[in-house]
Structure 1
C-alpha cells in the first residue's frame, strides 16, 4: 500500500536455511563461525551468499543473552590518526564480521587508562576479548589475568606477542637497496615514540650498516613525532648534515622529508633519496612515488583477529608467534647519489 510505514520483516536464520535448502543448525554453525571441519566449504559459501543477499543480520541481543558475552572485539592501537591502523582495522573488521563479531577501536595514546578499561570490559563481559597493538610492559601486566582473551601484536615483551613483523629483514632490504645504489651517507629519520617496534627499527638499521661496513654518524639520526611542522623541521636538520639518502620509520615522516627538501630547494631523488615504511596509499600520492617497506595490513589484521577468535573458541594456540613478512617496494624516490655531494 502506498504510504505504508510498515517495516520489512526481519530475515531469520530459518529464512536463510529455506533459501539454501540446508538445515537451520547448519546455517547457525556457518553464521556463528563454528562451521570449520563440520560444514563443507561450498556449503559455507552458499550460506554466506544467501545471508548477504537476503539481508540477514544476527540478533546480537539474543546472542548476548544466550552466551552471556557480547559479540564485540576491541582493537587497541597507539594512534588512530595513523592511516596504517585504519587499513589494519578494516581487515580485522572483515575477519571478525565473517564470524559474527564486530570490532571496537580504542586509541591508547589519548587514554592513559585504556588497558584498565579494557580489562574491566572483558571481565564484565561487555566485550569478548581484545587485540592490543604494541602495548607497553605496564599494560601487559594488567592483561595477565585475562590473557586467554587477549592477543598482542608487536608486544614490548616478545614472548607475549602473538603477531610480529620481520623488522630485521626489512631493514636489511632498505640498507641493501641504498648501498647497492652507492649511498654511503645514509640518515635515519626515526619516529619519536616509546614503542618497541621503533626501537627495533633503529637497532636493526644500525646493525645492518655495521654488517655491510658502512660507517654512520650520530648527526645522521634525528627523531620526530608525526606532527607535520615538527617533522619537517627535524627533516631539515637531517638533510643539512649532508646525507644523500634517508631511511624513515614511517611514510608520514617520509612525506615530511619531501616537504623539507622542497623548502631547502633540493629535488628528490636527484639530490636526495628517501625510503619510507608502511606503504600506505599516501606513498603513491607523493611525487615521485615513494620507495617504502610494505607492511601487509590485511594479513596483519586478519591474523591477529583469527588468533583471538581461535582463543575464544577454545582452540589450541599455535606454539609460535606469527611473523608477518615485510618487503621493500622500489619506486621512484631512490637513485644513485651524485658524485658531487651537496
Structure 2
C-alpha cells in the first residue's frame, strides 16, 4: 500500500504543507522539524511523487508518444527507435494508443500536454486545422505526417511506390491492382497520389481493387476482389494488409507469386518471416522514431532546428512474393 505524505505529516506531528516543504526543500523549515519529518518518511517507507515534483519544477524529462494502433508492428518499430533515443537523452517515453479514433487522439493529447515536456504524434488521424490546435498545446514533432507549422519526419513514399511499380513492370506486369487504406487516413491519401503518378510514368493504369481497413482482416476482404479484378500483381497499403491478402489467396488456391505477385509497404519484421517472404517497400521506422526524438529534444532545449521537414529514403526490398506473370497473363 502506498504511503501518503499525509501519513508522514501525522507521524511527525506537523502540517501536511510543512512535511511537503521539508521533503522537497521548497521552503523554510526548522532543522529539528525537518529531521523529524525525514525520520517519519523513512520509518513509513514513503516515496515522493517525483512526477509531480518535476512538474512543479517545470520539466518532467518525459515525452509522450501518441500512436493509432499498437497491434500494428509499424508503430512498434517506431516506438522502439524513439524509446532507445529518448533513453540516451535521459528522457522517459510514455506511449498511448488511440484505437485509430481521432476523438480519442484529441482527448489524449489534451490530457498529457501539461504532464510531459513534449510529444511525438505518429500518423495523426485528425484534420489539418485541428492538428494545428493540438500541436500548439506542447512542443510537438509529427512522425509520418507533414505540416506547414510543425516539425515532422516522413519517408519518401512517392519514391518507394515508384520503385515498386518499376519492379513490377520490369517483370512484365501490366495489370496491376492497388489495395487502398481507409479513406480517413492521411497516409492513404498520400499513397493514392503516389500510385497514380507512378502508373502514369509507367504508361499503365493501376486499378484500385479495394479500399479496406489497414489491418489483416482488411487484406482478407480484398483477396476475393483482387482475384475478380483479373490483375496479375497487387500493391498493398501496408504489410499487414498484404499478409491478409496472401492468406485469402491461399485459401482460394491462388499461388503467390505464380498467379499473383504482391508487394507490401513498411517492411515490418514479420515481412521476413512470412511464407513466402514478402516483397515490400521499406520505411526506416526505427530511424524515424530516433530522429523524431532528436528534433523534439532540440525544440525543448530552445535550439533552432536545422530542418523542420526531414524526409528519409524508402527503398524496395525484393523477396519471394514477386515474379514474372504467367505467359497467358502477359498476353
Q: Name the TM tier (shorter chain).
A: 0.7 to 0.9
Q: CA RMSD in A?
A: 2.3
Per-residue CA deviation, residues 43-71 of structure 1 (Å, 9 max, x unaligned), is xxxxxxxxxxxxxxxx9559717832212
Is 2:137 aligned against 1:146?
yes
CA contact (8 A) 2:117 2:300 kept: yes
Residues 1:67 and 1:176: Cα distance change in structure 2 (over 3 Å)? same
Of residues 130, 141, 151, the one that matches 2:119 is 130
CA contact (8 A) 1:116 1:142 kept: no
Per-residue CA deviation, residues 161-186 of structure 1 (Å, 9 max, x unaligned), is 42121011011101000000000000
Is 2:219 aligned against 1:231?
yes
Is 2:153 aligned against 1:163?
yes
CA contact (8 A) 2:180 2:188 kept: yes
In structure 1, distance between residues paired with 2:326 and 2:199: 20
Residues 1:80 and 1:208: Cα distance change in structure 2 (over 3 Å)? same
SS at match of 2:248: helix
Of residues 286, 291, 310, the one that matches 1:303 is 291
Residues 1:317 and 1:287: Cα distance change in structure 2 (over 3 Å)? same
In structure 1, distance between residues paired with 2:232 and 2:148: 34
Moved more, 207-216 or 197-206: 207-216
In structure 2, distance between residues paired with 1:87 and 1:216: 30
Residues 1:119 and 1:61: Cα distance change in structure 2 (over 3 Å)? closer
SS at match of 1:118: helix
Give the number of aligned pairs. Answer: 279
Displacement of 1:210 in angstroms is 0.9
CA contact (8 A) 1:242 1:341 kept: no
**Gap regions ≥5 residues in structure 2:** 1-48
Residues 1:321 and 1:245: Cα distance change in structure 2 (over 3 Å)? same
- Alignment of structure 1 residues 1-342 onto 2, 5 Å: 64=54, 67-108=57-98, 109-110=100-101, 112-122=103-113, 124=114, 126-135=115-124, 136=126, 137-146=128-137, 149-155=139-145, 157=147, 160-217=150-207, 220-341=208-329
CA contact (8 A) 2:214 2:237 kept: no
CA contact (8 A) 1:73 1:130 kept: yes
Residues 1:335 and 1:156: Cα distance change in structure 2 (over 3 Å)? same
**Taking structure 2 as the reference length, what is the TM-score of the superposition?**
0.78
In structure 2, distance between residues paired with 1:256 and 1:144: 35
CA contact (8 A) 2:62 2:92 kept: yes
Displacement of 1:216 in angstroms is 3.8
**Taking structure 1 as the reference length, what is the TM-score of the superposition?**
0.76
